[in-house]
Structure 1
Amino acid sequence: MIPYFLTLALALGSSLVIAQAPAPRPAAAAASDWQLRAGAALIAMPKYSGGRELRTLGAPLLEARWRENYLISTVRGLVYEQRLGQSAALSLALAPDVYQRRPKDGPRLLGLDKFEMAPALRLGGEFAEGPVFLNAVLSTRLGSGSKPGGRGSYAEFELGYGLLQSSELALALGVNATLMDAKLGQGLYGISAAEAGRSRLRPHAVGAGLHSVGGFAQLSYQLDAHWQLFAKASLASLRGDAADSPVVERKRQPLLALALSRSF
């Protein structure tokens, strides 16, 4: 399941389908090296990956872009982007990774070690050809190697098709998949012998491989020259060792993200 800030990043900043219908820049800002955006984002998602109970989170959306390549964002972190022609781009970012597993998030997590948030280094790539687009992000957590999942890595892919693209409205459908290494997978879904003794759940080992597959729909609407509304809904299905974990209450994981922002 795609974590909170990364989902918003894919939704609000990295899709070339949206970038093909950008908000017109104010005349005063056209000659400036800076582009500013402010707004708010809301997301509904399970409390933990594999959980049944949903939670709703709100976050400010503040972004400052300098000379097209450098970005500081409450959603995407510290980012360097480089376009490769008209249809491709690469990015490197340092941002928080909010995958976590806390005992308070569900009864099946009682007695298990806490899996905490950590900073992460992310390498992203985008490609678009006509209505077809591909997003890929490789994330490596930079937390403590002695803690569960502290140095885990995962790769996420989105393949989509733009059903409608105009100066005001963009609508797309697509599929996504997540691959995860054993360190991160064990931290999120694994149960050690010691944890099994404390929680009364059976031990469970998680190896590297396919973590989830799913589908999504996203919409971007330009309200006027400054304001933009974005919505994204997805449903991911856990696979492999993750799906077989005793901590999983529901294999199908829904997510809804909404954002309203203004460019300056």
Structure 2
Amino acid sequence: MGVMGTVSSAVAADLAAAQKPPEPAFDQEQFDQRFNQPERNWSLIVGGGGEYGPVYEGSGDFEISPIPLVLFTYGEWLAIDPSGITVTPLRHKGFSLSGKVGYETGRDADDHDRLRGLGDIDFAATVGAKAAYEWGPVELYAEVEQTIDGSESLIGTFGIGYSTPVTERLILGASAEAIVANDKHMEAYFGVSSEQSAASGLSEYKAEAGLKRVDISASATYLLNEHWLVRGEAGFGILTGDAADSPIVEEKLQPSISLFVGYKF
């Protein structure tokens, strides 16, 4: 990055930044008008970006994956994003209850040399429910998700999130999650049967239900103007229990970085 551009252009950029007036203190009313636009009951953000992360869950190799960004909300009860469709029929004094229809991408045996001989895990639909409680900028939540066909996974997520605007343009967030999974999920993604062992050369391994990972992340969203925004996120997951001990896993620590640019209509 240091060789991109000349010294003169870098100095000019620094001078331009120095001449900009400091951002004003946070004004909630102005923020709502600029970003949330409460006079309108719908919102649409379209954009794209990429993520740099493990090739598969447990991989020690990393790759850049392009990710489209489409986020549509209608009132407080409907949200459509890249992970699926969420409907929230109940909100009361900070408590909310929602249902979701999404998908599980599965895993292909040719994604990585270490997966060869293990077979594919099919793409499948998921259904789930989430209970959450918001206390100011803090959200506590518990979510359960069932995969229909495919791996037939049942996954539970327990987490805490924090998100707050610190200026009229900058929003900071952080989250921590604990993820538990049933036997079928653990066997599909971390187990090695006798047939798979013979085909892959990995040792036989039986993975049982339990806590499979803990995730921690931090994010920043910057509003360039009324329509354009940039969002970055960095985090890492720690595989635990039977997932961490699987011969499929190369690294227990699973870091990732993502960057998105979006246009808000």
Q: How many residues align?
A: 235
SS in 1 for 2:199: helix
- Does residue 128 of the first structure (1) align with residue 134 of the second (2)? yes
SS in 2 for 1:207: coil
Q: 1:155 to 1:88 in 2, by over 3 A?
A: same
* One-letter amino acid of the structure 1 residue matched with residue 250 of structure 2: E
Query: Percent identical across equivalent pairs?
Result: 26
Match of 1:233 in 2: 234
Match of 1:180 in 2: 181
Indicate if the aligned counterparts of 1:65 and 1:72 stay in contact, CA closer than 8 A: yes
Match of 2:99 in 1: 92
* Residue in structure 2 matching 1:139, options 132, 139, 145: 145
Question: With structure 1 as the length reference, what TM-score do the two structures score?
Answer: 0.79
* Aligned equivalents of 2:239, 2:84: Cα separation in 1: 27
Match of 1:109 in 2: 115
Q: Deviations over 1:198-252 (max 9, x none)?
A: 2221110111100011321111222222222222211111111111100111110
- Does residue 205 of the first structure (1) align with residue 214 of the second (2)? no
* Residue in structure 2 matching 1:77, options 72, 84, 88: 84
Relative to structure 2, which stretch is displaced further, 135-144 or 209-218?
135-144
Indicate if the aligned counterparts of 1:102 and 1:114 stay in contact, CA closer than 8 A: yes
Q: Deviations over 1:103-149 (max 9, x none)?
A: 222222111121122111122233221343224332111125xxxx2
Q: 1:81 to 1:249 in 2, by over 3 A?
A: same
SS in 2 for 1:116: coil
Structure 1, unaligned runs of 5 or more: 1-20
Q: 1:23 to 1:189 in 2, by over 3 A?
A: farther
* One-letter amino acid of the structure 2 residue matched with residue 228 of structure 1: L
* Aligned equivalents of 2:140, 2:167: Cα separation in 1: 19
Match of 1:14 in 2: none
SS in 2 for 1:187: helix
* Aligned equivalents of 1:262, 1:23: Cα separation in 2: 16
- Does residue 219 of the first structure (1) align with residue 228 of the second (2)? no
Match of 1:258 in 2: 259
Q: State the shift of 1:163 in Å.
A: 7.5
Match of 1:155 in 2: 156
Match of 1:45 in 2: 53
* One-letter amino acid of the structure 2 residue matched with residue 79 of structure 1: T
* One-letter amino acid of the structure 2 residue matched with residue 221 of structure 1: Y
* One-letter amino acid of the structure 2 residue matched with residue 199 of structure 1: S
SS in 2 for 1:112: coil
Q: 1:240 to 1:106 in 2, by over 3 A?
A: same
* Aligned equivalents of 2:211, 2:128: Cα separation in 1: 19
Indicate if the aligned counterparts of 1:23 and 1:263 stay in contact, CA closer than 8 A: no
- Does residue 118 of the first structure (1) align with residue 124 of the second (2)? yes
Q: Deviations over 1:25-83 (max 9, x none)?
A: 697x935x54322111322221111011112222322233334422333x132221245
Q: 1:173 to 1:72 in 2, by over 3 A?
A: closer
Structure 2, unaligned runs of 5 or more: 1-30
* Aligned equivalents of 1:22, 1:259: Cα separation in 2: 22
* One-letter amino acid of the structure 1 residue matched with residue 57 of structure 2: S
* Higher Rg: 2
SS in 2 for 1:60: strand
* One-letter amino acid of the structure 1 residue matched with residue 179 of structure 2: T
Q: 1:129 to 1:71 in 2, by over 3 A?
A: closer
* Aligned equivalents of 1:168, 1:211: Cα separation in 2: 37
* Aligned equivalents of 2:170, 2:236: Cα separation in 1: 23
